[in-house]
Amino acid sequence: MTVTTRFAPSPTGTLHVGNIRTALHNWLLAKKSGGRFLLRIDDTDAARSREEHVEAIRADLAWLGLHPEREERQSARFAIYEAAFEKLIAAGRLYRCYETAQELDLKRKVLLGRGLPPIYDRSALKLTEADHAARAAAGERPHWRFLLDHDAPIEWVDGIRGPQHFDPRQMSDPVVRRADGSWLYMLPSVIDDIEMGVTDVLRGEDHVSNTATQVQMFTALGAPVPRFAHEALLTGAEGKLSKRLGSLGVREMRENGIESEALIALLARLGTSDPVDPALDAEALAASFDLARFGRAPARFDDAELARVNAAVIHRLPFARVADRLPEGMGEAAWDAIRANLNTVAEAAEWWRVVTGPVDAPEFDAETRAFLDQAAGLTAALEWVEDPWGALTAALKETTGRKGKALFLPLRQALTGMDHGPDMKALLPLIGRDEAVKRLG
């Protein structure tokens, strides 16, 4: 059977770092086996769903290179849900309830006060058809619960957490449909996974209890249960994931100069003991993706680590990958000279200004000034060959006796206005002979 995974965001906002990790890991899991990665837009909440968020989700996935083979929207699938809903009613697995939120809250408090688990007492199962008719006549509309099978222990082997066991008698029958006819998450998700042929559900560990319920829903609908795996949630460098990091979205990352390759390289290995390798592309990461490598400890997301990986990725990016983001006139030779000093591509503009000038050199003492004047004269007479920097420094070392920092630093400061930066061997040819003479003299 072809491995089929899905990513199912709600378009009530843009994707944040936790969503992105889930999407990426589902893509990697599918690609490793030559399978299919699907996108399902969970837009049943009409009041909060926004079309601009749907477009943003698609754009973010495209920027990351996570292209789904199929897309579905839950708002277009209500007929499918109705058919399954009627099937479950006929099988006696759904039942009508009328308790208000306040009544249910009171019941929970009473049970907790007695030291008992706050499980729904199934009192609605005692209602007769006459009771239902009377409530309907009074204008009451029911909400619907899924009837868990108390005689069928819930078990599965989780791809990350290992063997899982739940006692359905210790669980509440979940509400699957509200009194106004709208759907909650649980049942439509199962129906979609069945219809879309999803074989593997990879999601956060906060869904483990949902999975326990949904296992019985798959069985009640006569469908095979997918393989489930639940990842540890993300935390920040200091423990709890801060709101700033937790809500960090693709748009903000792009605005901060983060490359998609860096984000993929970091998130692909986050939660494992495997090192983050900026040199690996998405296909190589997919080939090495293994759920068995993931631990149960919270996965730590550190924006400083992301920045480090981003710099390492940029240092490897070819000119063609960034050409449309570089300053006008900056060519491949300049990119090759500058990229090792960049943390973001946008910083290339600052170094290009060093090449094109003018530069703000420091004030030099008389001795250094004389040395630079001598350097200007040698530069003007220099045969501008393959390595003018090597030729210039060799000549200055011979004529002045200077070496090391005393030789190189004043030249760099005069030529670039900086104490550090790209290799001068690559930078000086970009500055050019005439401009170099001007800056040194």
pLDDT in tens, 345-382: 999 999 999 999 999 999 999 999 999 999 999 999 98
Q: What kind of fold does domain 1-71+232-316 have according to CATH?
A: Rossmann fold (3.40.50)
Bridge partners, residue 229, by sequence = 202
Looking at residue 424, what is its pLDDT? Answer: 95
SS3 content of the chain, % helix, strand, coil (to 5): 50, 15, 35
Reply yes or no on whether the pLDDT at 46 is more than 90: no
Higher pLDDT among residues 15 and 165, named by residue: 165
Looking at residue 386, what is its pLDDT? Answer: 86
Residue pair 107/124 in contact (Cβ under 8 Å)? The answer is no
175-177 and 162-166: which strand pairing?
A: unpaired
Looking at residue 247, what is its pLDDT? Answer: 61
Contacts of 23 (CB under 8 A, 6+ apart): 7, 9, 15, 61, 64, 66
Closest CA to 75 of 46, 37, 38, 39: 46
For residue 288 the two structure tokens come to 């090495």
Looking at residue 1, what is its pLDDT? Answer: 81
Residue 385 backbone dihedrals phi, psi, to 5 degrees: -100, -155
Reply yes or no on whether the pLDDT at 64 is more than 60: yes
Separation between Cα atoms, residue 14 and residue 28, nearest integer Å: 21
What would the mean pLDDT of 103-132 be, rounded to a whole number?
96
Percent of the chain with pLDDT over 90: 88
Residue pair 4/30 in contact (Cβ under 8 Å)? The answer is yes
What would the mean pLDDT of 38-60 be, rounded to a whole number?
94
Closest CA to 93 of 147, 149, 28: 147
What would the mean pLDDT of 129-147 be, rounded to a whole number?
97
Closest CA to 9 of 48, 33, 436, 34: 48
| Mean pLDDT, all residues of the chain | 94
pLDDT tens for each residue of 394-440? 999 999 999 999 999 999 999 999 999 999 999 999 999 999 999 99
Reply yes or no on whether the pLDDT at 285 is more than 90: yes
Q: What kind of fold does domain 366-440 have according to CATH?
A: Arc Repressor Mutant, subunit A (1.10.10)
Looking at residue 245, what is its pLDDT? Answer: 59
Looking at residue 12, what is its pLDDT? Answer: 92
Residue pair 157/132 in contact (Cβ under 8 Å)? The answer is no
Looking at residue 243, what is its pLDDT? Answer: 57
Looking at residue 174, what is its pLDDT? Answer: 98
Contacts of 384 (CB under 8 A, 6+ apart): 429, 433
pLDDT tens for each residue of 225-280? 999 999 998 887 666 665 565 567 888 888 899 999 999 999 999 999 899 999 99
Looking at residue 244, what is its pLDDT? Answer: 63
Separation between Cα atoms, residue 177 and residue 190, nearest integer Å: 14
Kindly list the domain boundaries of the chain, sorted by start residue. Answer: 1-71+232-316, 80-177, 319-356, 366-440
pTM: 0.90
Looking at residue 234, what is its pLDDT? Answer: 87
Superfamily assignment of 80-177 in CATH? Glutamyl-tRNA Synthetase; Domain 3 (3.90.800.10)
Minimum mean pLDDT range among 37-41, 280-284, 319-323, 372-376 = 280-284
Percent of the chain with pLDDT over 70: 98
